[in-house]
């Protein structure tokens, strides 16, 4: 867990509000405390991530496992203490794919309400996509030409949203790093047959997405969230994870595809030996890399079919958390 910023007192400016955003996904729960000004400028105070695997087994059982709930609520209580210490005025807690899919999400809701003091919002895939787009385009994405296809690749779902200043089309796909690992990639390293089955799932989802989101209109492909930032660290050859290097990193599609393929075919032990690899992501990064490679290849091909060329694949550390914080203010 990252250490909190030294500026722990609440802000005093009448034009700035200190807010706290929590994003609870299938694999991780994350906190952002930030000062947001009236003009929409966001200044980070504290950002934390814990891999709690809330979505453990949800694809198979349809329910949140008791041990996964306990891991998540333990971290939620830690975040609540940080929020109080940092003096945030307002808090928004957003839960995504795993919670949307779980029959027993009421248990989760009651636990979060007790731990944090706010009710978690189980947002739709469309709302998740909008928040991700808002966060990405508040950061590095706008240094590149639009339209942007923003891809938020999570543990249970992947959001695609296309637009320039606002979203023009969006869709949430039920493919993610945890879901595909549990469904297909059970061997270490995965077999060719397992990889083929996982690719078939992703390609079917992208076929459906292309009917809603015109992928061929993409000028800049922007990737968000832990699987993509991990692939980016690998493509950069980082000896340890460095957020400032990952944020805004830009590659040709072929470089991304090569990094994805390498991570997919490594064993869990080989992935753990990489200095930038979060231990809680090592078992699912192969599936995350597979999803990202399929998205990059499909967008590249659709752009080419439309008479263009996808020159840039950009990674952003500004993501749904930033979108949630901006939505509060």
pLDDT at 219: 94
Q: Which of 173, 170, 176, 135 is nearest to 154 (CA)?
A: 176
Which parts of the chain register pLDDT below 70? 1-14, 97, 139-142
Report the topology of domain 133-320: Nucleotidyltransferase; domain 5 (3.30.420)
Question: How far from each other are the two terminal CA atoms of the chain, in whole angstroms?
Answer: 26
H/E stretch holding 168 reads: strand 167-173
Interatomic CA distance for residues 18 and 12, integer angstroms: 9
Give the integer Cα–Cα distance in Å for 144 and 148: 9
pLDDT value for 4: 39
CATH 1.10.3720.10 fits 16-122, yes or no: no
Across the strands, what pairs with 22? Answer: 31, 93
Phi, psi of 193 (to 5 degrees): -65, -40
Q: Containing H/E element for 190?
A: none
Ranges of each domain in the chain: 16-122, 133-320
Provide the whole-model pTM.
0.85
Going along 13-106, which residue ranges are E strands? 16-24, 28-37, 42-51, 90-95
Q: Name the burial class of residue 327, with classes exposed (0-12), middle (13-18) and buried (19+) by CB atoms within 10 angstroms of its CB.
A: middle
pLDDT per position as a tens digit, 14-67: 589 999 999 998 888 999 999 999 888 899 999 999 989 898 888 888 889 999
16-122 and 133-320 have identical folds: yes
Burial 233-248 (b: 16+ CB within 10 A, else e): bbbbebeebeeeebbb
What pLDDT, on the 0 to 100 scale, is given for residue 5?
39
Q: Are 21 and 32 in contact (CB under 8 A)?
A: yes
Residue 140: what pLDDT? 65
Dig out the tokens for 164 from the structure.
């320039």
DSSP-derived secondary structure for 264-326: HTS-HHHHHTSTT--GGGTTTHHHHHHHHHHHHHHHHHHHHHTT-----EEE-S--HHHHHHH
**Predicted local confidence at residue 207, as pLDDT:** 96
Beta-ladder partners of 313: 221, 251
Token output for 205: 């989802």
Structure tokens at 297: 């290849």
| 281 class by beta-carbon count within 10 Å (0-12 exposed, 13-18 middle, 19+ buried) | buried
């Amino acid at each position: 867990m990252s250490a909190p910023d030294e500026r722990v007192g609440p802000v005093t400016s009448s034009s700035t509000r200190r807010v706290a955003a929590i994003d609870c996904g299938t694999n991780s729960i994350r906190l952002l405390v930030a000062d947001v000004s009236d003009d929409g400028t966001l200044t980070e105070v504290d950002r934390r991530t814990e891999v709690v695997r809330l979505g453990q087994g949800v694809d198979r059982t349809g329910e949140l496992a008791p041990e996964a709930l306990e891991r998540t609520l333990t971290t939620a209580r830690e975040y609540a203490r940080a929020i109080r210490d940092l003096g945030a005025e307002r808090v928004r807690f957003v839960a995504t794919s795993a919670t949307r899919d779980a029959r027993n999400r009421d248990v989760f809701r009651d636990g979060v309400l007790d731990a944090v003091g706010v009710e978690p919002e189980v947002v739709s895939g469309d709302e998740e996509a909008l928040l991700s787009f808002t966060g990405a385009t508040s950061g590095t994405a706008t240094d590149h030409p639009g339209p942007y296809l923003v891809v938020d690749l999570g543990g249970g779902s992947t959001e695609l949203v296309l637009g320039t200043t606002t979203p023009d089309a969006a869709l949430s796909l039920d493919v993610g790093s945890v879901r595909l690992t549990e469904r297909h990639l059970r061997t270490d390293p995965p077999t060719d047959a397992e990889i083929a089955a996982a690719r078939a799932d992703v390609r079917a989802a992208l076929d459906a997405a292309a009917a809603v989101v015109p992928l061929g209109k993409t000028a800049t492909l922007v990737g968000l969230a832990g699987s993509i930032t991990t692939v980016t660290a690998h493509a950069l050859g980082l000896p340890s994870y460095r957020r400032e290097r990952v944020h805004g990193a830009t590659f040709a599609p072929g470089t991304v595809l090569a990094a994805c393929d390498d991570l997919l075919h490594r064993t869990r032990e080989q992935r753990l030996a990489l200095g930038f690899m979060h231990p809680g992501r090592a078992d699912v990064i192969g599936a995350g890399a597979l999803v990202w490679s399929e998205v990059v290849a499909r967008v590249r091909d659709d752009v080419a079919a439309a008479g263009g060329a996808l020159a840039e694949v950009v990674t952003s550390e500004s993501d749904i958390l930033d979108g949630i914080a901006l939505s509060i203010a």
